[in-house]
């Protein structure tokens, strides 16, 4: 194609004096965002249809007889657009004044305060004072069922929630009732949102504080929260999320956009299962059983004694892993078992009765496997045992004598005598185990306290980052097992998570060609590795 030839799949236009080229079919709002200009808007959301009803995204297009809604106006060749012209700004100020006529000024007690688009827009372009002398409308609070409360006074009628339930959840339980200034969102049925498995997303997409989560109600202020990109650990879908943390406690999970995995959404099952990360009954110090009592020891002393006991003679090795452990942790366990002469590594994964897809985006499904890294465990040669409820299946795997290594599985359903016949029983976990037969207990971090990767059901390797400070002397399992293997094999131990991931690639070819840098925030499929720079 000649250098000056026009690409038929793109259009070139000018926005605020800057020329840019965008794909054909892009709206003016999307084109403006592509160049870093955010046009204020309410009703538009990238995962929903655009009704162009909020009138806040109006922009001036040269040659057009009036302002155009940028959320539905397609970009065309040669267009000249002004998002900050006097007419566009005046219109936005007028629309904001209209919204303020009824919106309550209850920001000090609103959960959305600090991350509210209405606050931002009014601060930037809102009127200096209101002119309405009529009393504000009062609707009060309504319980929509499930995890959602509705404050009708705050609603700006963007209808994102209604469109989400109709178009994405395909569970039309919300609608607009009444007309004009009496319009309000309401439910069709007495049960409201109860039983709808993806309804929590309407709280995420509400641009104001009209829809709030009962679980998060008055729990924390937005500006007090630290946000860390992570992966939902509650099934093998691998939804991208943000950990919202305050005072080293997880306050909530929020979905993070990844069009290849979960788009903008997540299920309510995963959203509300984070409280285990805040449990206070944590293992925080390495311990050795001496004379029937637990004695606290330092890491150097524990690793030295453990390496001596492992070197003392050849014995069979059996390991129990957890699909909640990262690829790096599982690979380190695999490498240690292989160095000790090889042995069987098994894991248990609790399964739900059915999968629950999101009808409007079926790529997102609450999977049967209720753990994040079942696929990673299988790639690393580990075998799933037990029934669909995840209990049992291990007693028959544990023969008499030998070394028993348990990583991450609390063994809560197996009783105090599990592992009693092992010559050496090492438990690595973040929480205590009821078994009384372990010889060593080594505290490891949860996924929220370390950097690492999970492999989801389709084989997509995805990164997560630490959002919590480790408890006590707990360390990532890959660091503990890597240091132990380094003593036994006289090799350099990994000291960073990216090094541990490269060691995982030595254990299995599935991870070869991948690195932390190339995984980024979207991840990559194990059967479709991203080429390394310069390769």
Q: Assign 390 a pLDDT band (cuts: 50, 70, 90).
A: very low
User: Of 209, 224, 239, which one is at a domain's C-terminal end?
Assistant: 224
> What is the pairing mode between strands 240-246 and 249-255?
antiparallel
Query: Are 91 and 140 part of one and the same domain?
Result: no
Query: Are 349 and 421 part of one and the same domain?
Result: yes
Q: Is residue 462 part of a domain?
A: yes
pLDDT tens readout for residues 402-411: 899 999 999 9
Asked if the model's pLDDT at residue 6 lies above 90, the reply is no
Average pLDDT, the chain: 92
Measure Cα distances from 522 to 230, 233, 331, 428, 525 in Å: 11, 16, 22, 30, 10
Asked if the model's pLDDT at residue 389 lies above 50, the reply is no
Asked if the model's pLDDT at residue 183 lies above 60, the reply is yes
Q: Residue 87 maps to which CATH number? A: 3.10.20.740
Work out the average pLDDT over 91-118. Answer: 93
> 148, 213 in Cβ contact below 8 A?
yes
Q: What is the dihedral of CA 313, 316, 320, 326, to 10 degrees?
A: 60
User: Of 98, 114, 141, which one is at a domain's C-terminal end?
Assistant: 98
Count of structural domains, the chain: 3
Q: Is residue 238 part of a domain?
A: no
Q: Is residue 453 part of a domain?
A: yes
Q: Is residue 108 part of a domain?
A: no
3-state secondary structure of 269: helix
Asked if the model's pLDDT at residue 314 lies above 70, the reply is no
- The pLDDT of residue 291: 83
Query: Are 87 and 140 part of one and the same domain?
Result: no
> What is the pairing mode between strands 383-384 and 365-366?
unpaired
Tokens representing residue 188 in the block: 């069709």
What backbone torsions phi and psi does residue 443 show, to the nearest 5 degrees?
A: -75, 125
Asked if the model's pLDDT at residue 393 lies above 70, the reply is no
Query: Are 345 and 491 part of one and the same domain?
Result: yes
Q: Is residue 320 part of a domain?
A: yes
For 324, counting Cβ atoms within 10 Å of its Cβ (0-12 exposed, 13-18 middle, 19+ buried), the class is buried
> 435, 417 in Cβ contact below 8 A?
yes
Residue span of the structural domain in which 462 resides: 287-525
Query: Are 147 and 44 part of one and the same domain?
Result: no
| Percent of the chain residues past pLDDT 90, beyond the cut | 81
Asked if the model's pLDDT at residue 391 lies above 60, the reply is no
Q: Residue 204 maps to which CATH number? A: 3.30.70.20
pTM of the model: 0.92
Tell me 459's DSSP state: S
- The pLDDT of residue 387: 61
- The pLDDT of residue 490: 86
For 423, counting Cβ atoms within 10 Å of its Cβ (0-12 exposed, 13-18 middle, 19+ buried), the class is middle
Q: Is residue 17 part of a domain?
A: yes
Query: Are 338 and 420 part of one and the same domain?
Result: yes
Q: Assign 3 a pLDDT band (cuts: 50, 70, 90).
A: low
């Amino acid at each position: 194609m000649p250098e000056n030839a026009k690409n038929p799949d793109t259009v070139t236009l000018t926005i605020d004096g800057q020329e840019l080229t965008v794909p054909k079919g892009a709206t003016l709002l999307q084109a403006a965002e592509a160049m870093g200009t955010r046009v204020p808007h309410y009703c538009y959301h990238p995962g929903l249809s655009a009704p162009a009803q909020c009138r806040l995204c109006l922009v001036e297009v040269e040659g057009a007889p009036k302002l155009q809604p940028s959320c539905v106006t397609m970009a065309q060749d040669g267009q000249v657009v002004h998002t900050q012209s006097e007419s566009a700004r005046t219109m936005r100020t007028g629309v904001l004044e209209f919204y303020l006529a009824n919106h309550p000024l209850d920001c000090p007690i609103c959960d959305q305060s600090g991350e509210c688009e209405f606050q931002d827009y009014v601060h930037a372009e809102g009127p200096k004072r209101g002119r309405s002398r009529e009393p504000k409308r009062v609707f009060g609070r309504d319980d929509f069922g499930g995890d959602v409360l509705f404050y009708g006074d705050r609603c700006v009628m963007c209808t994102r929630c209604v469109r989400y339930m109709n178009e994405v959840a395909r569970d039309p339980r919300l609608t607009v009732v009444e007309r004009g200034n009496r319009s309000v969102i309401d439910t069709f049925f007495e049960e409201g949102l109860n039983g709808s498995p993806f309804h929590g997303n309407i709280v995420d997409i509400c641009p104001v504080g009209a829809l709030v989560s009962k679980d998060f109600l008055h729990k924390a202020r937005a500006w007090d929260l630290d946000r860390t990109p992570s992966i939902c650990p509650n099934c093998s879908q691998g939804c991208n999320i943000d950990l919202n943390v305050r005072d080293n406690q997880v306050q909530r999970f929020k979905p993070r956009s990844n069009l290849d995995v979960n788009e903008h959404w997540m299920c309510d099952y995963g959203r509300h299962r984070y409280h285990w990360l805040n449990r206070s009954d944590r293992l925080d110090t390495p311990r050795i059983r001496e004379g029937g009592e637990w004695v606290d020891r330092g890491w150097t002393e524990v690793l030295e004694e453990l390496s001596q006991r492992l070197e003392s003679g050849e014995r069979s090795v059996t390991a129990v892993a957890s699909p909640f452990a990262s690829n790096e942790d599982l690979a380190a366990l695999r490498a240690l078992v292989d160095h000790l002469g090889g042995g069987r590594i098994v894991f248990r994964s609790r399964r739900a009765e059915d999968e629950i897809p999101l009808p409007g985006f079926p790529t997102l499904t609450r999977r049967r496997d209720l753990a994040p890294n079942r696929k990673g465990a299988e790639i690393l040669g580990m075998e799933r045992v037990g029934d669909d409820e995840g209990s049992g299946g291990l007693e028959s795997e544990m023969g008499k004598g030998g070394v028993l290594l348990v990583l991450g599985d609390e063994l809560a359903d197996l009783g105090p005598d599990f592992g009693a016949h092992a010559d050496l029983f090492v438990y690595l976990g973040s929480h205590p185990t009821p078994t009384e037969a372990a010889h060593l207990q080594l505290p490891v971090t949860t996924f929220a306290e370390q950097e690492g990767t999970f492999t989801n059901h389709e084989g997509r390797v995805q990164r997560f980052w630490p959002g919590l400070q480790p408890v006590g002397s707990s360390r990532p399992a890959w660091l503990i097992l890597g240091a132990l293997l380094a003593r036994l094999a006289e090799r350099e131990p990994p000291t960073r998570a990216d090094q541990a991931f490269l060691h995982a690639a030595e254990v299995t070819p599935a991870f070869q060609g991948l690195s932390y840098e190339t995984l980024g925030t979207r991840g990559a499929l194990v059967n479709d590795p991203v080429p390394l720079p310069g390769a």
